Structure 1
Amino acid sequence: MKKLSKYERETIVNFNEGESEASVYTFNADLKRRLAEFSRKYPLLCRLERTTPEGSVTYVLDKSRLSIRLVPPYSEERRAAARAYAKEHGFQPVQAIQDIA
């Protein structure tokens, strides 16, 4: 079994207008975890259909449960507000925490 490159480890979401189910094929560890949790919690809405030795999974789920979220970039005003909030509440960037250790 050949190890796949990051480029080859893809995620494919497939559905059409005529069916009520969507298929999600992925190698992404976080998405695999989220789909597994969802299928355990809601087995009538989501099921594991296939796994491969390379590490991919395919889940089939009710299309109405799938959402694609597009997030616009933060405005400079929102970034400044987030920085001020972080400073006020004692947030330290990861780099600063690593330097202390």
Structure 2
Amino acid sequence: MKLSRYEQETIVSYNAGEQTATIYTRDKAVMRKLDTLVANFPDTYKLVKQDEVSKTYSFPKSFVSYRKPRAVSMEQREQARKKIGLINSKKSYMYVQKMTIK
């Protein structure tokens, strides 16, 4: 079943009286991430319910977090850009070397 972008919702719910949070989602990307967590950490993340378009997961409420936006200066941004450029150039050099050796 094809859902519109609007219908691909994700709802996180928890309350002060319980130690667990639940996530109901119809978004395939969120499902993939949570399915990976369920597979890697079965004692922590649980798949509670699923149907043809949605899944519901349960996990400790303490894993829900709120973060402030990251502030990156122009200098930090430029340093990161140069570092990534260097990494990418090394990867392409290694790829060319590998291809010429064969």
Do Structure 1 and Structure 2 share a fold, with TM-score over 0.5? yes
Q: Specify the SS of the correspondent of 1:36.
A: helix
Q: Which runs of 5+ in 1 are unaligned?
A: 93-101
Partner of 2:15: 16
Identical-pair percentage: 36
Q: Provide the rounded CA distance (Å) in 2 between the counterparts of 1:52 and 1:27.
A: 10
Q: Provide the rounded CA distance (Å) in 2 between the counterparts of 1:70 and 1:10.
A: 23
Q: Provide the rounded CA distance (Å) in 1 between the counterparts of 2:11 and 2:90.
A: 36
Q: Provide the rounded CA distance (Å) in 2 between the counterparts of 1:50 and 1:73.
A: 38
Q: Specify the SS of the correspondent of 1:23.
A: strand
Partner of 1:84: 82
Partner of 1:7: 6
The structure with the largest helix share of the pair is 2
Number of positions where the alignment pairs a residue of Structure 1 with one of Structure 2: 90
Computed over aligned residues only, the root mean square deviation of the Cα atoms, in angstroms, reads: 2.5
Larger Rg: 2
Q: Provide the rounded CA distance (Å) in 2 between the counterparts of 1:91 and 1:57.
A: 42
| 1:26-37 alignment, distance < 5 Å | 26-37=25-36
Q: Which runs of 5+ in 2 are unaligned?
A: 92-102
Q: Provide the rounded CA distance (Å) in 2 between the counterparts of 1:10 and 1:46.
A: 20
Change (3 A) 1:91 1:67: farther
For normalisation by structure 2, the TM-score amounts to: 0.68
